[in-house]
Every structure is written in structure tokens, then in C-alpha cells.
A = this chain, B = another copy of it.
Amino acid sequence: MSTIDFNADLGESFGTWEKGADEAMLGSVSSANVACGFHAGDPLTMATTVALVKQSEIALGAHPGYPDLLGFGRRRLDASGKEVAAYVTYQVGALLGFAHQHQLALHHVKPHGALYAAALSEEPVARAVASAVAGLVPGTFLYTLPDSEMWKAAVEHDLQPVAEFFADRPLRPDGSYEFFRWRDNFDLDPDAVAERTLRAIGEGKVRALDGSDLEVTVDSVCLHSDTPGAEQLGPHLRIALEAAGWKVAAP
């Protein structure tokens, strides 16, 4: 039986504002990327989310972003490599604090939103992320896309890159994801999402926006907990993965 990881961003509430189908996703995924207070999350939310991750016996990851609560970390900020490295150290360190209090180890790091996107194509950003993570948690897993600057920087810093597939976002013909303006271009029917995902991880193929087939490498499937319908999509996809013979587990 082959193994596949299933990850989601969790703990993206802020103060009294709630976001994300965290409860449903905690029971569906094998690894959680927990927001660290810069794009979402706050100390109390982090404390709660880390406790739930421990209770759910899934892998704990840090999900650092740009300091932009107003924009949910989805807007490119022209921060220097030194700034990015400090932001990542600060956020991953803060999450490690909560992990330590629950005797939990940190399993992985996954940048969020615009920081994730910038690290794919910009070497200074990618290296800043990788060096900060390697300085804090040597050899840990770093979730990103294959053939990206982030992937290269992870390897260079002796981190273990994990190849993601986004189950709820369309791919452009050039192989890049449409992360932010996708609602009119994607079928969120649970069966369609499951079928697309199973093809991606089983055959390594996925249909792009123009109808062409792209080849993908997948170590981990990502579903966003704030995608509309996530509370159904998450459990449905978990069941579909297992029904198709996959063992769902973190690397």
C-alpha cells in the first residue's frame, strides 16, 4: 500500500474572528500547517490549535507569512531577504513555543500565501526562508512545489522538500497554480476534487485550465480549510484516498 500525505492550513482565525473548517479538517488530514500570527492566527488561537493537533495525532507544521493581517498574507510585500529570514524565525520560534509546551515536535514548515508564491520564483526569498528554517529545525520537511527556487534552496540547506498538489486550485498550462482568482475556474464538487486528486497522485497527471494534461509529482495533497465547502471536501477526500488504497500519513 502506498502512502500519501494530506495537509491543510489550520488556525487561521484571528482574535474573535473565526475562519476555516478546522474541526472537519483536523479529522481528515495527516499534517497541519498552523498560522503563526503574521497573516492570521494569534497566540490564543495557536495555543488552541496546537492542542487540537496533538489530540488529533497528526503532524504539526508552521505556516509563516508576511506581516499583513489586513491582506491575509496574500499580497506581495517587498521585504528584503534579511527581513524575510527574521520573520520566519520569529513565527516558527513562536509556534515552537506552543509545540514545546505540549511535548510536540515540529514536523514541517510551509510558507503562506504571497510568501509561498514569492519563494517559488525568487531566490533571495527562498534562501531566506530555507536558512531561517534550517537554523531552527535542521533537516525538517519543507512543503513547496518541485522545480521551484524554494525547492532548490531547501535542498541546499539540507531540508527535505515535500512536493505539494493543491486539490482545490486550478493549474495554468505553464504548470503554475492560480492561487487567488480561481473561483470561476474550478469545480469544487467533492467527487470532482477527489477524482482530480486521485489521478494526480495515481497517474501523476492533472488537467490544466486550457484542457491540456500536465505531469505532476505529489508527496502531499493540500486542501485549504477556508475553501468553500471544506467541511465536506476534507472528509470526502480522506475517505476517497483510503477507498482508493492509499495510506494517509505524514512523511
For A103, the closest partner residue in chain B by CB is B135
- B77→A68 contact, CB < 8 A: yes
Number of copies: 4
Count chain A residues whose beta carbon lies closer than 8 angstroms to a beta carbon of B. Answer: 45
- A90→B17 contact, CB < 8 A: no
Residues of B within 8 A of A135 (CB): 100-101
Given contacts A19-B17, A44-B83, contact A70 B71 (CB under 8 A): no
For A14, the closest partner residue in chain B by CB is B17
Check A239 for interface membership: any CB of B closer than 8 A: no
- B92→A97 contact, CB < 8 A: yes
Check A69 for interface membership: any CB of B closer than 8 A: yes
Check A246 for interface membership: any CB of B closer than 8 A: no
Residues of B within 8 A of A177 (CB): none
Q: Which of A19, A89, A91 has its CB near the most chain B CB atoms (within 10 A)?
A: A89
Residues of A near any B CB (own CB < 8 A): 13-19, 37, 42-44, 46-47, 67-72, 75-79, 82-83, 85-87, 89-98, 100-101, 114, 132, 135-136
